[in-house]
Amino acid sequence: MKIAMIGTGYVGLVSGVCFSDFGHEVVCVDKDPRKIERLENGEVPIFEPGLDLLMNKNVEAGRLTFTMDLEKAVTGADAVFIAVGTPTRRGDGHADLTYVMAAAEEIARVAKEYVVIVTKSTVPVGTNRQVGEVVKKANPSLDFDVASNPEFLREGAAIDDFMKPDRVVVGVQTDRAAEVMADIYRPLYLRDFPIVTTDLESAEMIKYAANAFLATKITFINEIAALCEKVGADVKQVSKGVGMDNRIGNKFLHAGPGYGGSCFPKDTKALARIGQEHAVPMQITETVIKVNEEIKRRMIDKLLDLCGGSFNGKTVAVLGVTFKPNTDDMRDAPSLTIVPALVGGGAKVKACDPQGRHEGEALLPGVTWVEDPYESADKADLVVVLTEWNEFRALDLKRIAESMTTARLADLRNVYSPTDAERAGFVAYESIGREGYT
C-alpha cells in the first residue's frame, strides 16, 4: 500500500514510521520546513523512545520519506491520513478544526484518482462528513471516500501502543474504504489485534468517550485521595484494593497532581462542548474538568503549607515539568499551573527535567534550569517531585536532604513514602492521599 501522512507530530510521525515498518510505502508531509529538514537528516524532532531507530531503519529500507510537497505525496496514494493538531479553540472549548479542514482542501486540490482520506486527528462527531463536503467542493470530480481512524497511542509508549493496540477503530461509509483500511492494518490483525469497524459518527464518538472515561477515572481517584488525607487512609493501598476488581482494573488509578497533556484536557472540553451543542449536557465530564482544575490548585495549597504559608524568598527545586515521563510534551502539564504560582509567589525555582527543558524554557519564564536533581536541591527549601521520571524514582534522599537549607519534600507522584523521607532526614514530607508530616 502507498500511504501519505499529513502532519509529522507525535501521532503522524509515529503512525507513519510504524506503517512503513509494516512494509507500506509511506511519505510523511509537514508544513514546518524545520521539521522536514531535521527528519531528512535522520533526526526525530520530538522525544519518543525508540522512534529514531525505527525511523532510520525504514528510511534506509527505502519505505519512508519526508517532504513538504503534498502533491508528490498524494499522487498514487491508496490512503491519505490527516494527523494534524486539533487544539482547543480559544474561548469556547470547541476543537479547532482549522488545520484539519485546510489539510482536507489541500489534499482535494492535488488528488487525481480514487483515494481514501482518513482522519486520524481527534475530531468532534460530524467532522468526517464535513471533510467529505470540503473535498467534494474543492474537487467535484474526485473519486474518494472518507474514513475515521482515531488514534489511541500514548506518548512515551507510542510505538508499542501502535504496534500492539488493544483495538483499531475504523469508521467508514463504503465497503471499498473498509477494504483499503483492512489492507493497511492487515499486518496487525494477522497477529490477532481486533479491528472495530463502525460508521463515521461512532468512530468519532469512541475516541472522545474513551478519553473522557480515562480522565474521569484519574480524577475520581484524585478526589478519593483528597478524602484519604482527611480520614487517615492511604490512597496507594486504596487504589490497589479497588483496582484488583476486574470490573474496575488497576490502570489510570494512580493519584497525582491532576491530569494534563495534549489530549485529556482538550478532549474533555471538546466533548462537553459537543454535549452543549446537542442539548445533552455531559455533566460528568463537565464536573471532571472542574475537579481537575481544583486538584491542581490544591497542589499549590499543599506546597504553600509546606513553605509555612508563603513562597516569598524560598528556593524550590522542581523535579520534572513534562506532563508525564518519557515525553518532551508540555501541553497542559500540571507544571504550567504550579510553577508560575511558585514564581509569582516570590520563590526562586530551580527546575530539571530529562527532556522538558527546551519546551520548559519557553513556557516557564523566571525559572533557572539545571541538569541534575541534586544540583536543583542544593540549598533549596523545598523539593517538589512533579513528574515521575525514572531519574527521580531512586534518588539518594539523604544526600538531597543534607544539601538543602530546609529539608522539605513534596512528592506529588507518591514515588517515596513518609518513612523514606523521615529516615533521610526530611523535616517535612507531603504526598498525595496519604498522611504526611510537617
| Contact between 85 and ligand NAD per CB under 6 A | yes
- Least distance in Å: CB of 338 to ligand NAD? 22
Residue for grid cell 485529556: 264
Chain positions 231 to 270 lying near ligand NAD, rule: CB under 6 A, are 262-263
Quote the CA–CA distance of 344 and 347 in Å, as a whole number: 7
Among 84, 116, 299, 377, binds ligand NAD (CB under 6 A): 84
Closest CA to 11 of 234, 161, 114: 161
Comparing CB distances to ligand NAD, the nearer of 106 and 286 is 106
Closest CA to 292 of 360, 226, 237, 219: 219
Where helices occur in 232-334 by DSSP H, the ranges are 235-243, 264-277, 283-306
- Least distance in Å: CB of 142 to ligand NAD? 18
- Least distance in Å: CB of 198 to ligand NAD? 17
90 contact partners, CB below 8 Å, separation of at least 6:
96
| Contact between 209 and ligand NAD per CB under 6 A | no
SS3 content of the chain, % helix, strand, coil (to 5): 45, 15, 40
What binding mask, one character per residue, do residues 100-129 give for ligand NAD by CB under 6 A, x or -? --xx--x--------------xx-------
What is the strand order of the sheet 315-319 is part of? 367-369, 348-352, 315-319, 382-385, 408-411, 428-430
Cβ atoms of 74 and 2 within 8 Å: the answer is no
Among 1, 2, 25, 32, binds ligand NAD (CB under 6 A): 32
Kindly name the residue from 18, 263, 307, 352 that is annotated as catalytic. 263
| Contact between 35 and ligand NAD per CB under 6 A | yes
Say how far residue 145 (Cα) sits from the centre of its chain.
Answer: 29
| Contact between 155 and ligand NAD per CB under 6 A | yes
| Contact between 153 and ligand NAD per CB under 6 A | yes
Binding-site sequence positions for NAD(+): 30, 35, 86, 122, 155, 266, 331
Cell numbers placing 284:
460528568
| Contact between 10 and ligand NAD per CB under 6 A | yes
| Residue 228 a catalytic site member | no
The residues assigned a catalytic role are 263
Q: What residues make contact with ligand NAD under the rule CB under 6 A?
A: 6-12, 29-32, 35, 83-86, 99, 102-103, 106, 121-122, 151, 153, 155, 262-263
